[in-house]
Amino acid sequence: MEGRKLIIMLVTALVVIGIITLLSRSRKNVKENTIAEKSNAHEVFLKNCATCHGNEGGGTTQAKGLRGRSLDRDYVKKIIQTGNTVMPRFHFIHEPVLSELADYVHNLK
């Protein structure tokens, strides 16, 4: 009887450990595959836009500057999500970060 209880406890512990492992992996994948909602817009811009548009949005040889253009927020969101002939789409940037990034680009001075 004692051996049976021990086996049940061990199996239960292994199941719990397995569930915890699966949950932690799924959370890690979500964090790696999307931009976290808590990211601030400047960090998102530096990570995804600055290579072509410059760290301060002034442009590079690869893309136009965004500073001082007061681009429409909805237009910016659309271009981020769908891309255009030159710019790739950034379909992994979702709300609310998408709106925060659009506001950031709109307000670049």
Q: Judging by beta carbons within 10 Å of its beta carbon (0-12, 13-18, 19+), is residue 49 exposed, middle or buried? A: buried
* Residues 57-107: tens digit of each pLDDT: 999 999 999 999 989 999 999 999 999 989 999 999 999 999 999 999 999
46 and 25 in a common domain: no
| 83: CATH | 1.10.760.10
pTM above 0.75, yes or no: no
Cβ(80)–Cβ(93) below 8 Å? yes
Q: Which domain does 4 fall in, by range?
A: 1-33
